[in-house]
Every structure is written in structure tokens, then in C-alpha cells.
Amino acid sequence: MPEAKSGSKLLFEGPEWSFALLEKARDAIEEIALNDLGLNLYQNQIEIISSEQMLDAYSCVGLPLMYQHWSFGKHFARDEALYRSGRQGLAYEIVINSNPCISYNMEENTMAMQVLVMAHAAFGHNHFFKNNYLFLQWTDADGIQDYLAFAKNYIAACEERYGIDAVEEILDAGHALQTQGVFRYGRPPKPTSQELAAMQRVRDGYAGSRSLLDIWTDATLGHDSAETPKDAPLAARRKSMNLPQENILYFLEKHSPVLEPWQRELLRIVRMLAQYFYPQKQTKVMNEGCATFVHYHIINELFSQGRLSEAAYLEMMHSHTNVVLQPDFDDPRYSGINPYALGFAMMMDIRRICEEPTEEDRDWFPDIAGHDDWRHVLRHAWANYRDESFIQQFLSPHLMRKFKLFTLVDDASQKDLVVSQIHNRAGYKAIRQDLAQQYNLAYLEPDIQVTDADLSGDRCLILTHTVRDGIHLDEANKEEVLKHLRRLWGYEVTLDAVETVVES
Amino acid sequence: MHHFIDRRANPKGKSHGNRQRFLRRARENIKDRVDRSVRDKSIQDGEAVPVDGEQVTIPARGLQEPRFFHGSKGGNRRHVLPGNKEFVVGDTLPKPKGGAGQNGREASEDGEGEDEFSFTLTQDEYLEILFDGLELPDLVEKSSVETETIGTRRAGLTTVGTPNNLNLVRTMRNALGRRIALHRPSRRAEEELQSEIEMLEALPNRSDAQEELLAEMCARLERLQRKRKMVGYIDPIDLRFDTHVPEKVRKSRAVVFCLMDVSGSMQDREKDLGKRFFLLLHLFLARCYEQTELVFIRHTHHAQEVDEETFFYARETGGTIVSTALDKMREIITDRYPPQEWNIYGAQVSDGENFGNDSVRCKKLLLEDLLPVCQYYAYIEVVEEDAEDLLQDLSVGDDLWQNYRAVKDQTEHFAMQRVAHAAHIYPIFREFFLPRLKGGQNA
């Protein structure tokens, strides 16, 4: 624990917070965030909410402006039951990747917690959102609030016009395909001018869109009038529909023969939100690691400046310690690797490698070992990596020993589980590779693509699941999702599994 | 350039719409459970539905959110786990039962795959589903009697309040945390130090070293005592109080008269059917009114006001004169339930037998004395299970039935039906209170 210096005054005393104290604390945090850590931040908008409102926000994937759907009500019923029976606490905050960066703090937090939470969310996450390449490339922080408002109103209007059931049918199907509703590798194909015109008409109003109903004359299909899809060979078909297509929702939105314009717009909304959340799914470890490192650094800095009382400092440390707890694999509390624990440990480790590198570190990280500015190294990492590549690049042998990581192989052809690697010289590289793979969404989520759809023939939609390592889809769920797919496509849908050759 | 925004005053229950959609979605399943639970309930439960809601467990069928995801079995998987203790490369472990990896993380996503989903329906939601679509007859709404008062509702915790609202559990939890954080010395530590000092002091002649130790210990004791005094066992900052906020409540009262023939011809079966009807009526009205009371009148050739137990279970013999019960009801209304303060409901169950030409008198009593002050009056005739003809054709019937039919023709807030099975009760009840638009008897 750093020694507290006397001199400058405490930011606050006692557990009660007030808006004046929050302002004062925020200024002190910002001072450190900007001038010490050199963070690059969106403007902050910090909202104080009650626990009831937190429960509300919880059930709507953290977005209070989310449209209405029964599944959020179901999550609310479950969260509420867990919360009321005391089996689950509530988050101290929720932060939204938007500009200005909106974070929600609970009113029940003590002043010390408000400071911790502010440093964590309004500065740590905020910096990450604004600087990480995934968020910059794939999300529109300026527009998300407006888009959510549009989506909510649009869906409410559709419910009024077409009935809750009709809207629910499309949203249910869209939600089922959410993980298949993102572009993983490339940007979406640019819409043609005809498509742009059609989209414009759709947005202009329902009435104008009626003429788009007939898919066979619909420009959104993307056929040039010169093309004759009837005789076009498979290659031409695939070209015109951008096949194979990994983004199934995008494909259905553009090419389904049965959907009406408003239904396409609903799919588009679901798809846009899935894409908006995709970077967050890929950066759990880094995002939490960054935010936890930032709050840890800031409160220690505040304490050493003598601006926090020991009581407040201890309360923050207590909470911090809980958050970064990593139970062992055989601990009853174990439920996977804690992204806060791993992320925070890696950030601290990078700083250690910069400041006090060992011989081993110099071998493994020649670029950063002994680097004179750890802040720069961290900011660079936060901006340019996602979990998979970050672990691949920065997980050090030191940390693997500290976490005592080992790899367990579960091969269906073997009777037992086998320990294939442990934290020793022979195992470091392989463990790092395996752990990185564990955060590779493209590997974790099934690889399913639209491979063919013969609109002029039997109109059967053909999907292909590329099976890796012999891991197949969950059967019961697969059948249910296929039912949804058939509803959206209007005709038969088949899903073929293709095994890939196992590399040895 | 920065903002703090206080959103606490914003309306809560933003996800109300989501909950409504969820209940709507699960309606079929929920309704099934609710109907089943009401069949097993007894009117003696009083409220019959707990005030803090009814826990329902419904099949998760139709509530799943399916996704494409990897199954938990088969294939070649690698898991990186923390906390290795003694494993070396090549060690083997038996696979946990049920396949999956060491932690079974892939086994179910989001807790899906469970067959059932439990949650709490509030009392309102429960009854809303039970009495889905039913309303009080229009006529009744118009003449409802009500008053308004202010009540209170619980609203979380605050740091200020009156001692009677002190939330002990939360307060003590805060106090404990603070004492641990601030290292408050325990009483035992103090007593141990004290006794050591006493032991030293008791020594007849002390060496210099002991003197020094004693002085040091005294100083330590003083510090310790001072710290105990400074870090209180309970501090004002630990205090948490329950709060209540005022809420406007509509107060309206209703009284339900349950009239039943208990002569020898009414067996347990008939009484049971009657009971079911009274229960539903009571539940329904309890939902519409702030306060409801029940009056039980049983009759043979004379009528008595009795308690619920006697009403349903005591045996009585004698003839059957229905008008005595109606007389009794009129008498009680005059005595205790002035119609300008009470909404009065009547429900009568009988097997349809009556003495001589008493039925004409019943008709007269109803038309002249009771129906003018009643909001609604329902008559249920229990018939034999095999009495198909009676169930089919409502124009056939004994003297009492015929006279009541005449009453029905003249008034709108009078309803009558025949039942033979327990299964008939709920549909008939629904029919009584279904708005006429949807084919009910209701006006």
C-alpha cells in the first residue's frame, strides 16, 4: 500500500455522495486520466439511476432505449427473481459505447464506489471504446442512441400497424440468427444505386413501399434487368447474391422472396445491433482489463496524492479484489476464466515487463521489455488488438506460471481427458495458442454460410456448416432455428454439415 | 463539458412492456397452471391468492430462444484451465458424466435447455389471467359506490428515517463491514490485555523490564480503548431505514351474499359445485373492490345466517322454502349494508326444488326488494349429472326455475344457469361476466 502523503485535501469523507462531490471527484480523476495515463476520451454523461432502473436496463442488454420484446421480459423475470432472493447482486454500473459516453451508476453506491465506478467505466471503458480499432471500424458511437430511438419507434409503429404477433414472429426469428447476423471479416457489400433508392422508399413510409412487395420485380433483389436469372448458371447466381454469405440475416434481408419491406427493416435492426455488440464480444478480456487497470491506477494515484481517506481506499480495494478473483478450476466457484482477472493481470504484467523485465521477458518480448513508457505500450495494445490477438501477443510465461495454466484435451475418441500442456518451458507456446483460441469468436461460434439459393428453381436455401474438430451443432436448437429460417425464407431450408480435414 | 444527470425520478418499470409481452407469450402455459391451481383452492383460504404473488412454474416450451451453437458432446476440444496443482503432461482424468468439458461450460447457453421456467406472478397478474377478459356488467360500473383514501407502499432503503423503520439486517451488515475495515479491537482483546495488566500489577515486586512492559501495556490498553470508543459498534452512517411512499387508493366495498339450499336433497356434490361458484365470485369481486365481505345464508324451510364452516359442512334436515333465504337477505341488508355504501351481490345455489307456490313469492321479493339494491344476482341450479334434457333446454324446469326465468326477462342484472359438473362452473362463471359483445349474458 503506498504511503499517503499529507498536504492536499481529501476529495470526500464518509460514505454519502452528492452531485457536488461527484463533480469534484470526476475532475480529479480526469486530471490523472488525461495528464498521467494520456487517455483519449469521449465526453462523459454519467447518469444516476435506482436499483429498479438498473434491473430494467439489465434485462435489455444494457440499453435502456432498447425496443420491446418478450425475451427481455423473460430475462427481467429471471434477474428479478435472482436479485430479490439475494442470489445475484446488481452491477455497480452499466456503460454504453456511445458519444457522449453514457454510463449509469447506481444510487446505492457509496461515494467511494461512485469514484471507483467512474474511474472504471467513464474513463477506462470510455477510452477503450474510443480507441480500439474494432469499435472504430464496426460501431457508430455518434449514431447509436439515435439508431436505438429509431428502432424502438419503428418497431412500436410496426406493432401498432401489423399487430404484436406479426412483429414478434420476425423478431424471434431474427434473434435466433443474431450470431449469424454479423460480418466477421469484410465490410458489407456496397448497396447498388437501385438498392439505395429502394431503401430510401422503404424509409419514406409504408405506403410508398407497397409497390416493392412483389419480389420478382423488386430492385432490392439486386438483379440487373439485363440479367436473366432463369438461365444464369450457379456462378452468376452466386455472384449476384454475394454467395457464399456468412451474414445470414443480411442475406435474408436482401434476398428473401417472401418478406415485406417492413419485415426486412426489422431484420436490419436486429442485424445492426448484433454488429454493434460484436466488438464487445471480442474484447471482453481487454475491455475489462483496460477499465480495471485504469481504475486501479487512478485510485492508487489519488490515494498517494492524499485525496482519498484510508477507509475509502480500503473499500475500493476490497471491491477491486473481489472483481479480479480467479478461482482455481477445481474450486466450486469456478465458472471459466474471469475476464477481469486475466485482463487486469495482463495489463499489470505488461507494465512490469516494461519497468522490470527479466531475462525471460527480454527473450519473449524484445519489443517492449524495458520500454521506457509503459503507458504508451498499453495504449497501443488497447487500440490495436482484440482478445485473441492480445493473448497471442502478450501472455507471458510469468503470468502462465502465476495462473498455473494447463491445457486439458477432451477428445471423443479417447476414454479420458488428457493433460496435454502445463505451465513449463515446453508448454508456454501451446498454452498461449490454446487460450487465444478460446477467445476466438470465429472459432467458438459455428461457421455457417449461405451457399446457394436457386430462386428460379425450387427456391431451396442451402446453408453449409463447416465442422471444425468434429464439433457439431446442438441438435434441438438447430431444428428450432431452422424453423425460424424457413419462416423468413418462405421455402425449404437445408443445413449441410461439412467436415474439414483435421490438420495434424 | 461533462454532465451528471439524475435519472432516479424517471418512471420505473420501463420494462413493463417487455413483461407484458412475456406474459402474453407464455399465456397459454400460464393460464393452464392458473386454472389448475384455482381448481384445487378452497374458499376458506380467504384471499385464496397470496398478496405477494403466486409462484408459477411453467414449461419452458415456447419460451426458448434457440440459437445455432456447438453441441456439448463429441469432437476434439482443448480447454485451458487455471490453478494446476499436481498435473504433469500426460496425466489423465476420467471424463465427467454427461460428457462435455471439465467445466461443462458449453452445456447450456444462458440457462436454456431447462425444461421449466419459474417466476412470480403478482396477485394482479394472476387474477388478470384467471379472469381474462371478464368485466363487471356496465350497469354495475355506473352505480358503483366508492371512496378515496391515502395508503402507503414500501419503497426501498434510505439513510434517514424514524427508529421504527430501522432495517436491522442492512444496518448490522454495514456496521460489521465498517468494524472489520477499521480494525475495531474486539472486547476479548481488551479483556485479555486487561487481565495481563492485572497479573503484572498483582506481582509484589516488579523488575524494571516488567515495569516498562506494564507501562507499555497500559498505553496499549488506552489506545485500544480509545479506538473502541472512536470506532463505534454502530455508527450513524451504518443506519438504513425502510421507506414508504404515500399512494392514493380507491376504496370501494362489496358484500357477497351466498345463498344455498341445504335441505336433504342437497348432497355433498351439489354443495361442492356451489362452493366453487362462490369462490370464483368472491375472487373476482375481491379484485374489483378494495374490500369485500361474505355473508352466508343457508335455508331449509327457514333461513339462518351462519359461518363458512357451518354453511358448507353442517347437515340440516327439513323442507324447502326458498323465500325465507331471500327474506333473510333483505333483513341483513337493511340492518348492516346500506346500499349507498355497499355494492351488493347475490349468488344463490339450489337444486331447484321449492315448496308449493313459494316460487311466486320469490319472484316478487327479487323484483321488488332485492334486485333494485343489488349490483348483480346470479342463480345456479345444480342438476343431476345425467339430466341431459335439462342442461340442453333452458325453457324446461320446475316452478322455481320458471319464475326466475320471468325475473330474468324483466331485469338485466340477473343471471341464471344450470350446472351438473365441476367443469361447468368456470365456463358459466365466465359467461356471466363476459361482456355481451362477446356472447356473454352480461349487458
Q: pLDDT by residue (tens digit) across A360-389?
A: 999 999 999 999 999 999 999 999 999 999
Partner-chain contact B7 A422, CB within 8 Å: no
Q: Answer whether residue A289 is part of any domain.
A: no
**Domain contains A213:** no
Query: CB neighbours of A420 closer than 8 A, spacing ≥ 6?
Result: A407, A408, A409, A430, B78, B89
Report the pLDDT averaged over residues B236-260: 83
Is A335 in contact with B78 (Cβ distance < 8 A)? no
Q: Classify residue A336: in a domain, yes or no.
A: no
User: Inter-chain contact B65–A404, Cβ cutoff 8 Å?
Assistant: no
Q: How many domains does chain A have?
A: 3
Number of domains observed in the structure of chain B = 2
- Classify residue B180: in a domain, yes or no: yes
Asked whether residue A165 is assigned to any structural domain, the reply reads no
User: Which cell goes with A218?
Assistant: 423488386
pLDDT at residue number B301: 83
State which of B180, B204, B238 marks the end of a domain.
B238
Q: What is the pTM of this model?
A: 0.68
* Residue B371 predicted with pLDDT over 90: no
Could you tell me which residue, B18 or A483, shows the higher pLDDT?
A: A483
Instruction: Inform me whether the pLDDT recorded for B233 exceeds 60.
Output: yes
Q: Please report, in tens digits, the pLDDT of each residue of chain A (504 residues total).
A: 444 444 457 888 888 899 999 999 999 999 999 999 999 999 999 999 888 888 888 777 777 788 888 888 888 887 777 777 766 666 778 898 998 899 988 888 889 999 999 999 999 999 999 999 999 888 888 888 889 999 999 999 999 999 988 999 999 999 999 989 888 876 655 556 666 666 666 666 544 444 444 444 444 444 444 444 445 566 777 777 777 888 999 999 988 888 999 999 999 999 999 999 999 999 999 999 999 999 999 999 999 999 999 999 999 999 999 889 999 998 888 888 999 999 999 999 999 999 999 999 999 999 999 999 999 999 999 999 999 999 999 999 999 999 999 999 988 888 888 999 899 998 999 999 999 999 988 888 899 999 888 777 788 899 999 998 888 898 888 998 999 999 999 889 999 988 876 554
B80-95 mean pLDDT:
89
- Among A85-89, A123-127, B45-49, B107-111, the range scoring the smallest mean pLDDT is B107-111
pLDDT at A218: 44
How many Å lie between the alpha carbon of A78 and the closest alpha carbon of chain B?
Answer: 7
Largest CA distance in chain B: 117
Q: How far is A76 from chain B (nearest CA, A)?
A: 8
Does pLDDT of B381 surpass 80?
A: yes
Q: Which B residues in the span 156-185 are in contact with A, Cβ-Cβ below 8 Å?
A: 156-157, 159, 181-182
Full domain range(s) for residue A459: 445-499
Residue type at B159?
Answer: T
Inter-chain contacts counted by CB atoms under 8 A, chains A and B: 275
Single residue among A77, A104, A132 that ends a domain in this structure: A132
Q: Are residues B232 and B174 in the same domain?
A: yes
Does B228 lie in the same domain as B188?
yes
For B307, the enclosing helix (H) or strand (E) is none
Mean pLDDT check: name the lowest of A264-268, A461-465, B199-203, B287-291: B287-291
Antiparallel, parallel or unpaired: β B3-6 and A44-49: parallel
Q: For residue B93, which residues of chain A lie inside 8 Å, CB to CB?
A: 408, 416-419
Q: Is residue B229 less than 8 Å (CB to CB) from chain A?
A: no
Q: Are residues A59 and A24 in the same domain?
A: yes
Taking residues B128-156, what's their average pLDDT?
66
pLDDT at B122: 74
Q: Helix A19-31 vs helix A284-304: angle between axes, to the nearest 10 degrees?
A: 100
- Minimum Cα–Cα distance from B76: chain A residue: A411
Which residues on neighbouring strands pair with residue B381, listed in sequence order? B350, B418
CA atoms within 13 A on the CB side of B78: 22
Residue A144 belongs to a domain? no
Share of chain B above pLDDT 90, in %: 4
Contact (Cβ atoms closer than 8 angstroms) between residue A286 and residue A119: no
SS (H, E, C) A359-388: HHHHHHCCCCCCCCCHHHHHHHHHHHCCHH
H/E stretch holding B247: strand B241-251
Is A461 among the domain residues?
yes
pLDDT tens-digit readout, B383-435: 887 777 777 777 777 788 888 888 888 887 888 888 887 777 777 777 777 66
